[in-house]
Amino acid sequence: MIKVVIVDDDSFIRESLKVLVGMDPDIEVTGAAADGGEALRLLESGTEANVVLMDIRMPGVDGVEGTRLIKRGFPQAAVLMLTTFDDDEYIIEALKGGASGYLLKNIPPDRIIQGIKTVHEGNMLIHPDIARKLAGFLQPAAAETASCSLDSYGLTKTELSVVAAIAEGYSNKEIAAELFLSEGTVKNYITEILSKLGLRDRTQIAIFYLKNQR
Protein backbone atom coordinates (compact mmCIF):
# COMPACT_ATOMS: atom_id res chain seq x y z
CA MET A 1 0.00 0.00 0.00
CA ILE A 2 1.15 3.51 -0.82
CA LYS A 3 0.60 5.62 2.29
CA VAL A 4 -0.46 9.18 1.45
CA VAL A 5 -0.87 12.35 3.51
CA ILE A 6 -3.01 15.09 1.92
CA VAL A 7 -2.26 18.75 2.63
CA ASP A 8 -4.68 21.51 1.58
CA ASP A 9 -6.10 24.50 3.47
CA ASP A 10 -9.51 24.08 1.79
CA SER A 11 -11.38 21.51 3.89
CA PHE A 12 -13.72 20.60 1.03
CA ILE A 13 -10.84 19.89 -1.35
CA ARG A 14 -8.99 18.05 1.39
CA GLU A 15 -11.91 15.76 2.15
CA SER A 16 -12.70 15.27 -1.54
CA LEU A 17 -9.13 14.21 -2.23
CA LYS A 18 -9.22 11.80 0.72
CA VAL A 19 -12.25 10.08 -0.82
CA LEU A 20 -11.01 10.12 -4.43
CA VAL A 21 -7.46 9.02 -3.69
CA GLY A 22 -8.54 6.51 -1.06
CA MET A 23 -10.75 4.68 -3.56
CA ASP A 24 -7.68 3.25 -5.26
CA PRO A 25 -6.91 -0.23 -3.84
CA ASP A 26 -3.16 0.49 -3.84
CA ILE A 27 -3.42 3.67 -1.76
CA GLU A 28 -4.15 4.31 1.89
CA VAL A 29 -4.73 7.90 3.06
CA THR A 30 -3.04 7.96 6.47
CA GLY A 31 -3.62 11.61 7.33
CA ALA A 32 -4.69 15.08 6.24
CA ALA A 33 -3.47 18.54 7.18
CA ALA A 34 -4.38 22.18 6.57
CA ASP A 35 -0.82 23.42 5.97
CA GLY A 36 2.78 22.28 5.73
CA GLY A 37 3.46 22.74 9.43
CA GLU A 38 0.55 20.53 10.42
CA ALA A 39 1.70 17.92 7.90
CA LEU A 40 5.17 17.91 9.42
CA ARG A 41 3.71 17.44 12.90
CA LEU A 42 1.67 14.49 11.61
CA LEU A 43 4.81 12.78 10.34
CA GLU A 44 6.71 13.59 13.53
CA SER A 45 3.91 12.01 15.56
CA GLY A 46 4.33 8.74 13.67
CA THR A 47 1.91 9.05 10.73
CA GLU A 48 3.38 7.09 7.83
CA ALA A 49 3.67 8.71 4.42
CA ASN A 50 5.30 7.43 1.25
CA VAL A 51 3.85 10.39 -0.64
CA VAL A 52 2.72 13.81 0.59
CA LEU A 53 0.17 15.41 -1.76
CA MET A 54 0.75 19.09 -1.05
CA ASP A 55 -1.05 22.26 -2.13
CA ILE A 56 1.39 25.08 -2.93
CA ARG A 57 -0.46 28.21 -1.82
CA MET A 58 -1.72 27.96 1.76
CA PRO A 59 -1.87 30.35 4.72
CA GLY A 60 0.50 29.50 7.54
CA VAL A 61 3.22 27.19 6.27
CA ASP A 62 2.76 27.07 2.50
CA GLY A 63 3.65 24.17 0.24
CA VAL A 64 7.11 25.47 -0.61
CA GLU A 65 8.24 25.77 3.01
CA GLY A 66 6.31 22.64 3.95
CA THR A 67 8.24 20.69 1.31
CA ARG A 68 11.57 21.92 2.66
CA LEU A 69 10.63 20.97 6.22
CA ILE A 70 9.32 17.53 5.31
CA LYS A 71 12.24 16.62 3.04
CA ARG A 72 14.68 17.75 5.74
CA GLY A 73 13.12 15.52 8.37
CA PHE A 74 11.69 12.75 6.20
CA PRO A 75 13.78 12.54 3.00
CA GLN A 76 12.25 9.18 2.06
CA ALA A 77 8.79 10.75 1.60
CA ALA A 78 8.06 11.95 -1.93
CA VAL A 79 6.29 15.30 -2.12
CA LEU A 80 3.91 15.88 -5.03
CA MET A 81 2.68 19.45 -5.44
CA LEU A 82 -0.97 19.95 -6.35
CA THR A 83 -2.03 23.45 -7.35
CA THR A 84 -4.56 25.50 -9.30
CA PHE A 85 -1.78 27.89 -10.22
CA ASP A 86 0.54 27.28 -13.14
CA ASP A 87 3.02 29.46 -11.25
CA ASP A 88 6.62 28.88 -12.31
CA GLU A 89 8.16 30.70 -9.34
CA TYR A 90 6.30 28.65 -6.73
CA ILE A 91 6.84 25.42 -8.63
CA ILE A 92 10.58 26.03 -9.04
CA GLU A 93 10.99 26.86 -5.36
CA ALA A 94 9.11 23.69 -4.38
CA LEU A 95 11.27 21.56 -6.69
CA LYS A 96 14.41 23.18 -5.32
CA GLY A 97 13.15 22.21 -1.87
CA GLY A 98 12.92 18.56 -2.86
CA ALA A 99 9.46 18.08 -4.42
CA SER A 100 9.25 15.26 -6.96
CA GLY A 101 6.91 17.16 -9.28
CA TYR A 102 3.59 18.91 -9.56
CA LEU A 103 0.07 18.50 -10.92
CA LEU A 104 -2.70 20.99 -11.53
CA LYS A 105 -5.92 20.47 -9.57
CA ASN A 106 -8.13 20.62 -12.67
CA ILE A 107 -6.87 17.29 -14.02
CA PRO A 108 -9.04 14.15 -13.73
CA PRO A 109 -8.82 12.17 -10.46
CA ASP A 110 -7.21 9.19 -12.18
CA ARG A 111 -4.31 11.44 -13.24
CA ILE A 112 -3.77 12.47 -9.63
CA ILE A 113 -3.73 8.82 -8.58
CA GLN A 114 -1.29 7.98 -11.37
CA GLY A 115 0.88 10.91 -10.32
CA ILE A 116 1.05 9.58 -6.77
CA LYS A 117 2.11 6.16 -8.06
CA THR A 118 4.64 7.73 -10.42
CA VAL A 119 6.54 9.67 -7.74
CA HIS A 120 6.29 6.72 -5.34
CA GLU A 121 8.14 4.62 -7.91
CA GLY A 122 10.95 7.17 -7.95
CA ASN A 123 9.94 9.01 -11.10
CA MET A 124 9.53 12.75 -11.50
CA LEU A 125 6.70 14.86 -12.85
CA ILE A 126 8.51 17.91 -14.15
CA HIS A 127 7.73 19.64 -17.42
CA PRO A 128 10.94 20.10 -19.48
CA ASP A 129 10.47 23.89 -19.53
CA ILE A 130 10.44 23.95 -15.73
CA ALA A 131 13.45 21.62 -15.59
CA ARG A 132 15.47 23.96 -17.81
CA LYS A 133 14.67 26.91 -15.54
CA LEU A 134 15.95 24.86 -12.63
CA ALA A 135 19.30 24.33 -14.32
CA GLY A 136 20.82 27.36 -12.61
CA PHE A 137 20.26 25.85 -9.19
CA LEU A 138 22.60 22.87 -9.41
CA GLN A 139 25.02 22.32 -6.56
CA PRO A 140 28.16 24.49 -6.94
CA ALA A 141 30.51 21.64 -7.89
CA ALA A 142 28.33 20.78 -10.88
CA ALA A 143 27.51 24.39 -11.78
CA GLU A 144 31.18 25.27 -12.19
CA THR A 145 31.51 22.83 -15.06
CA ALA A 146 28.00 23.08 -16.43
CA SER A 147 29.13 24.39 -19.81
CA CYS A 148 31.08 21.20 -20.54
CA SER A 149 29.66 18.38 -22.59
CA LEU A 150 28.45 15.23 -20.86
CA ASP A 151 31.44 13.30 -22.18
CA SER A 152 33.83 15.30 -19.99
CA TYR A 153 32.51 13.91 -16.71
CA GLY A 154 33.93 10.42 -17.01
CA LEU A 155 30.57 8.71 -17.36
CA THR A 156 30.53 5.34 -19.05
CA LYS A 157 28.24 4.62 -22.00
CA THR A 158 25.81 2.77 -19.74
CA GLU A 159 25.86 5.57 -17.16
CA LEU A 160 25.06 8.08 -19.90
CA SER A 161 22.12 5.91 -20.94
CA VAL A 162 20.88 5.82 -17.34
CA VAL A 163 21.18 9.62 -17.06
CA ALA A 164 19.18 10.10 -20.27
CA ALA A 165 16.50 7.67 -19.10
CA ILE A 166 16.17 9.46 -15.75
CA ALA A 167 15.74 12.76 -17.59
CA GLU A 168 12.93 11.14 -19.58
CA GLY A 169 11.19 10.20 -16.32
CA TYR A 170 11.87 6.45 -16.44
CA SER A 171 11.64 4.50 -13.19
CA ASN A 172 14.45 2.16 -12.09
CA LYS A 173 12.32 -0.79 -13.22
CA GLU A 174 11.82 0.74 -16.67
CA ILE A 175 15.52 1.60 -16.99
CA ALA A 176 16.41 -1.97 -16.03
CA ALA A 177 14.10 -3.38 -18.71
CA GLU A 178 15.38 -0.93 -21.34
CA LEU A 179 19.07 -1.64 -20.67
CA PHE A 180 18.70 -5.35 -19.79
CA LEU A 181 19.97 -4.83 -16.24
CA SER A 182 18.68 -5.74 -12.79
CA GLU A 183 17.04 -3.01 -10.69
CA GLY A 184 19.83 -3.42 -8.14
CA THR A 185 22.43 -2.74 -10.82
CA VAL A 186 20.53 0.36 -11.94
CA LYS A 187 20.53 1.64 -8.34
CA ASN A 188 24.28 1.08 -8.18
CA TYR A 189 24.76 3.01 -11.42
CA ILE A 190 22.70 5.90 -10.07
CA THR A 191 24.78 6.01 -6.88
CA GLU A 192 27.95 6.15 -8.97
CA ILE A 193 26.49 8.84 -11.25
CA LEU A 194 25.54 11.03 -8.29
CA SER A 195 29.07 10.66 -6.94
CA LYS A 196 30.77 11.50 -10.24
CA LEU A 197 28.57 14.52 -10.92
CA GLY A 198 28.45 15.84 -7.36
CA LEU A 199 24.65 15.83 -7.37
CA ARG A 200 22.09 15.00 -4.70
CA ASP A 201 19.16 13.17 -6.31
CA ARG A 202 17.34 12.11 -9.49
CA THR A 203 15.84 15.55 -10.00
CA GLN A 204 19.29 17.10 -10.17
CA ILE A 205 20.42 14.37 -12.59
CA ALA A 206 17.54 15.28 -14.92
CA ILE A 207 18.31 18.99 -14.68
CA PHE A 208 22.00 18.32 -15.25
CA TYR A 209 21.25 16.30 -18.37
CA LEU A 210 18.99 18.97 -19.84
CA LYS A 211 21.55 21.69 -19.19
CA ASN A 212 24.45 19.75 -20.68
CA GLN A 213 22.67 18.15 -23.64
CA ARG A 214 24.31 19.23 -26.88
Q: Which is more confident, 214 or 189? A: 189
* pLDDT, tens only, 42-68: 999 999 999 999 999 999 999 999 999
What pTM was computed for the model? 0.71
Alpha carbon distances (Å) from 166 to 52, 95, 138, 196: 22, 16, 16, 16
Q: Which is more confident, 89 or 187? A: 187
Supply the CATH classification number for the domain 134-212: 3.40.50.2300
Residue 32 β-bridge partners: 6
Residue 3: its pLDDT value, please?
98
H/E element holding 170?
none
Report whether pLDDT(40) > 80: yes
Domains 2-125 and 134-212 share a fold: yes
Band the pLDDT of 107: cuts 50, 70, 90. confident
2-125: what CATH class?
Answer: alpha beta
Give 153's DSSP letter. G
Domain residue ranges of the chain, discontinuous segments joined by +: 2-125, 134-212
